[in-house]
């Protein structure tokens, strides 16, 4: 019997395990892909305190080594079902079944991609999904952004403050978001917008060189760029938990800063929950809060 199962091996999940292990709890992390989550795919991280510059993989590896030294159990398995029976959580994966007194969901969220053939090859080499993380690397240069909602406009405004020019391309004939943001975008001289186009090809073998767009009439044109920021939303994967949690209309688990869900003993941390800012540092904060509250819950059981 485990004290705590953490579903997700990103920074939120690993931080949660760190806090629980330091409270002498028996902890298992279940991760379906690889250690580190989104941050592990970032070629360079410069917004993490104490690290002037580090790759996302190195950062994730350092944390993983830390929790491994403390005795965390770790399995690369995909969670297929979770239920609560007689005050015990039963977690079923594609390989096994585990029981624990408490669970933290830390499955994160993935950026919605353009779903283009060459996109995955160019991630970190001209294609980016977080302007906050990677935008400063292009200070003084022209950049391109695809997206039409609040996040895209916020990214464009931020990028325009240090990039020489920001080219925005949208699928429809307008922006979908707050009018105040639209007003700023439209009045910023170094932001240029083109509506009613769709990206159909990313050009470049090892580095992004240009994007081929298609107009509504079917004609195409090529836009040269070395930096594309894709801001068309994020995708959480929380359906397997929907019996035990409340989801908002976008599929995020509803929770406040306490990281509690509607099910006693079940907590949520990181990008998979409702929140304003999704960054590595906020994920870490969530992990600490969720684990601390999980330990309090375990104490309430007399453990």
pLDDT in tens, 11-30: 999 999 999 999 999 999 99
pLDDT at 102: 98
pLDDT at 8: 96
pLDDT at 241: 97
pLDDT at 151: 82
- Domain range list for the chain: 2-110+235-300, 119-230
CA-CA distance, 25 to 4, in Å (whole number)?
Answer: 7
**Which parts of the chain register pLDDT below 70?**
41, 43, 303
pLDDT in tens, 150-178: 889 989 999 999 999 999 999 999 999 88
pLDDT at 5: 98
CA-CA distance, 220 to 226, in Å (whole number)?
Answer: 19
Among 3.30.360.10, 3.90.1150.10, 3.40.50.10360, 3.50.50.60, name the CATH number for the domain at 119-230: 3.50.50.60
pLDDT at 303: 55
Work out the mean pLDDT of the chain and round it to a whole number.
Answer: 94
> 2-110+235-300, what's its fold?
FAD/NAD(P)-binding domain (3.50.50)
């Amino acid at each position: 019997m485990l004290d705590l199962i953490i579903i997700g091996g990103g920074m939120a999940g690993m931080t949660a395990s760190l806090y629980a292990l330091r409270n002498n709890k028996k902890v298992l992390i279940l991760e379906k892909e690889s250690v580190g989550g989104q941050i592990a795919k970032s070629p360079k991280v410069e917004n993490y305190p104490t690290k002037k510059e580090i790759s996302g993989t190195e950062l994730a590896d350092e944390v993983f080594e830390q929790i491994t030294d403390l005795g965390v159990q770790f399995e690369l398995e995909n969670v297929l079902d979770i239920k609560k029976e007689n005050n015990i959580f039963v977690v079923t994966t594609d390989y096994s079944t585990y029981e624990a007194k408490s669970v933290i969901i830390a499955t994160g969220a993935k950026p919605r991609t353009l779903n283009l053939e060459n996109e995955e090859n160019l991630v970190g080499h001209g294609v980016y999904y977080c302007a906050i993380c990677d935008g400063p690397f292009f200070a003084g240069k022209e950049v391109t952004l695809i997206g039409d909602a609040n996040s895209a406009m916020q990214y464009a405004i931020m990028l325009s403050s240090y990039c020489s020019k920001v080219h925005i391309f949208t699928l429809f004939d307008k922006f979908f978001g707050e009018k105040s943001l639209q007003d700023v975008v439209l009045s910023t001289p170094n932001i240029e917008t083109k509506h009613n186009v769709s990206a159909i090809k990313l050009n470049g073998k090892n580095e992004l060189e240009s994007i081929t767009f298609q107009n509504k009439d079917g004609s195409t044109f090529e836009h040269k760029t070395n930096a594309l920021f894709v801001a068309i939303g994020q995708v959480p994967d929380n359906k397997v938990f929907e019996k035990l949690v409340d989801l908002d209309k976008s599929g995020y688990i509803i929770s406040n800063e306490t990281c509690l869900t509607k099910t006693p003993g079940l907590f949520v941390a990181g990008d998979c929950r409702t929140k304003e800012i999704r960054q590595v540092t906020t994920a870490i904060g969530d992990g600490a809060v969720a684990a601390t509250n999980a330990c309090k819950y375990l104490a309430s059981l007399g453990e």
